[in-house]
Structure formats: structure tokens, C-alpha cells
């Protein structure tokens, strides 16, 4: 049974409206006619080349930008702007430098539950801080934290408000490989434990393979589309360190790399026969007779 938290319905983004003097009469379509549902408790990763509009879509979902066409529904209601039902984690952490770790997270908690007593706010904040492994660092200020710790605070702050939807824009890309791996594991564990719904942009194919239930592949812009949605065939209890022992990992990785290297640009000249933007192809990887996994739509 599907239960969409977010329903993207035919959205497009255009800049420089036709006839607008600043645009010289030209209009650029960044993406168009995108349709996607994100179901409750699902982890969706979006992959596509730079400029196809991934951040613009995330900003639209956050209510920070508006589509030129189409609508976005949150639990069936048209999205009208930013709201505490959607938390955003960016690559930069945007912590308040004068507040401690506890102060930063508590600030978000008290915006969400304005009448909550101080003790409850602190309790919720401490729980979120502990969940990201920062217990003991509550009284440190951002300047005293490493990049990985700051990003943990960003995650704690987002999770503490118990959002319906977590929106992440390359949250781990600025971190060193070791910290990135640890935080990916923690993010996956926390999201699974709490049934968090996530929409995440990444350029890292392995990150998408480890984290996502479904991987949305976008074609190159301008005029980007959702080319296909790939179902992750790996076991739900996969471990990051064991991925490369699973033959399905290589099939999935090859499929995603083939898309990024060739199909993402070829799509514009020749969309596949019968392509319907409202129902982009769903790709599953099946065992062929030889035992190898093959992509099937
Ligand atoms: N205010 C604006 N006016 C005109 N064009 C814009 C504006 N904002 C964004 N764009 C264009 O929209 C396109 C999509 O930008 P966006 O940041 O959403 O892409 P992206 O897929 O997230 O890229 P990246 O992977 O590099 O972050 C880019 O070509 C960008 O130049």
C-alpha cells in the first residue's frame, strides 16, 4: 500500500519568462513535467548531472521556491511555503555560532513546540543529540566542532522537530571519506528506526546505492525529465562495508553509471518509445538465466 507524503504533480521551472525585457524574450526551461510520489518511510535519492535542477526541486519541496507550472502536495494538501513539517539539511550546516550544540537544537525544538516547557524542549534536544552520537558535546559551540560534528548537529536539529519529510542536499559531500561513511551509516540507521521519509540529492552513486530504497535518475538539462526510477534490489539490512560482496551491487552500480555516462544526455534527442512523464519507467534488476542481474522496466 502506498501512502505518499509528497506528491510532485507535473512541475516545471522556467527562468526569463517570454516577453520579459530582462530575458531578451527567451525562456529557459530547467526541467519540465516532473511527476513523483515519495511514500511514507521511504528513502529516495536523486541523481543527475549538474544543472538539471535537483536543488531547485528540493527548494520547491522545502517551500523556498515555486514551480512555474504544476503543484506539490504534502499529505494531499497543496504546499504553500516553508513549514516545520519539512526539515532541510544542506551541505553547509548553518548553525547559530553563538549557541551551543544544545542551544542550536533546542532553538529548533522550541520553534516547533512553542508552548513546550523548557525541560521538555531540553529533553527532546538531548535525545536528538544522543541519536547522532554527540552526547557529551552539548555545551560546545560550533567553532569547537569538526565538520562531521557540525553536520551531526544539523541532522540532530532536523530530526528533533520530527518532520514528516527530511530534505537533504548533498549533506555529506564536504566531509572526509571516513566521516562521510560513518554519517551515512548513522543517517540510515536513524531514518530506518524512526520511519523517516527522506528526499536526498547526491552525486555519489555508492551513497545512493547504500542509502536509497529508490533512486530517481534525472536527464541532463535544460528541459530535464525524470528518466527512470530504479528500485534498489539490495537487502534492507545491508551493511555499507559489505556492499561490494553482493553481486547485485555491481549490476546496480553499472546501471547507474551507464545512465550518467551516456543515457542521461541521449534521452533528450531520443526519449525511449512510449515514455510517459507521468509514469516514468520503474527499473528493477532481475536475475537472468546466466545468474547475472539485468535491468528490466
Ligand atoms: N535565479 C535563476 N535564474 C536563472 N537561472 C537559474 C536561477 N537559479 C538557478 N538557475 C539555473 O537553474 C539550473 C538548475 O540549478 P540547480 O541548482 O537546481 O541544479 P542542480 O541539478 O542542483 O545542480 P548541481 O548538481 O550543480 O547542484 C542551473 O542551470 C542554474 O543556472
Residue range 257-275: average pLDDT? Answer: 89
Q: What is the DSSP letter of 245?
A: G
Ligand 1 centre from 53 Cα, in Å? 6
Tens digit of each residue's pLDDT (9 = 90 or more) over 180-215 = 898 899 889 889 988 999 999 999 999 999 999 999
| Distance from C-alpha of 126 to C-alpha of 187, rounded to nearest angstrom | 17
Tens digit of each residue's pLDDT (9 = 90 or more) over 28-82 = 999 999 999 999 999 999 999 999 999 999 999 999 999 999 999 999 999 988 8
pLDDT at residue 275, as a whole number: 92
Q: What average pLDDT does the structure give for the chain?
A: 89
Burial class from Cβ neighbours inside 10 Å (0-12, 13-18, 19+) for residue 193 reads exposed
Q: Which residue's entry shows cell 535542477? A: 53
Tens digit of each residue's pLDDT (9 = 90 or more) over 237-249 = 899 999 989 888 9
With contact defined as beta carbons under 8 Å apart, do 104 and 95 qualify?
yes
Q: How far, in Å, are 13, 14, 48 from residue 28 at the CA level? A: 8, 5, 18
ipTM score: 0.96
Ligand 1, atom 24, residue with closest C-alpha: 50
| Distance from C-alpha of 12 to C-alpha of 101, rounded to nearest angstrom | 39
pLDDT at residue 18, as a whole number: 58
Ligand 1 centre from 170 Cα, in Å? 15
Among 49, 53, 90, 226, which residue has the most ligand 1 atoms within 8 Å of its CB, making it the best to mutate? 53
Q: Name the pairing type of β-strands 226-231 and 282-287.
A: parallel
Ligand 1 centre from 221 Cα, in Å? 9
Helix/strand/coil for 271: coil
Amino acid at each position: 500500500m502506498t501512502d505518499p507524503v509528497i506528491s510532485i504533480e507535473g512541475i516545471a521551472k522556467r527562468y526569463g519568462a517570454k516577453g520579459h525585457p530582462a530575458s531578451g524574450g527567451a525562456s529557459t526551461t530547467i526541467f519540465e513535467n516532473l511527476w513523483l510520489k515519495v511514500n511514507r518511510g521511504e528513502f529516495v535519492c536523486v541523481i543527475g548531472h549538474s544543472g538539471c535542477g535537483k536543488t531547485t526541486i528540493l527548494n520547491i519541496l522545502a517551500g523556498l521556491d515555486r514551480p512555474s507550472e504544476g503543484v506539490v502536495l504534502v499529505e494531499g494538501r497543496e504546499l504553500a511555503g516553508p513549514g516545520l513539517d519539512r526539515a532541510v539539511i544542506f551541505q553547509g550546516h548553518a548553525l547559530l555560532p553563538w549557541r551551543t550544540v544544545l542551544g542550536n537544537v533546542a532553538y529548533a525544538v522550541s520553534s516547533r513546540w512553542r508552548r513546550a516547557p523548557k525541560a521538555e524542549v531540553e529533553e527532546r534536544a538531548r535525545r536528538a543529540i544522543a541519536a547522532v552520537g554527540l552526547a557529551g558535546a552539548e555545551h560546545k559551540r560550533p567553532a569547537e566542532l569538526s565538520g562531521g560534528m557540525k553536520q551531526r548537529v544539523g541532522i540532530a536539529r532536523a530530526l528533533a522537530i520530527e518532520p514528516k519529510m527530511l530534505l537533504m542536499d548533498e549533506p555529506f559531500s564536504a566531509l572526509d571519506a571516513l566521516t562521510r561513511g560513518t554519517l551515512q551509516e548513522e543517517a540510515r540507521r536513524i531514518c530506518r528506526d524512526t520511519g523517516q521519509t527522506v528526499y536526498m540529492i547526491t552525486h555519489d552513486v555508492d551513497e545512493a546505492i547504500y542509502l536509497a530504497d529508490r533512486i530517481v535518475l534525472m536527464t541532463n538539462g535544460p528541459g530535464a525529465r525524470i528518466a527512470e526510477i530504479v528500485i534498489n534490489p539490495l537487502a534492507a539490512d545491508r551493511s555499507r562495508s559489505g556492499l561490494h560482496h553482493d553481486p547485485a551491487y555491481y549490476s546496480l552500480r553499472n546501471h547507474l553509471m551507464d545512465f550518467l555516462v551516456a543515457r542521461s544526455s541521449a534521452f533528450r534527442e531520443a526519449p525511449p518509445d512510449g515514455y510517459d512523464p507521468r509514469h516514468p519507467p520503474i527499473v528493477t534488476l532481475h536475475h537472468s538465466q546466466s545468474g547475472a542481474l539485468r535491468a528490466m522496466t
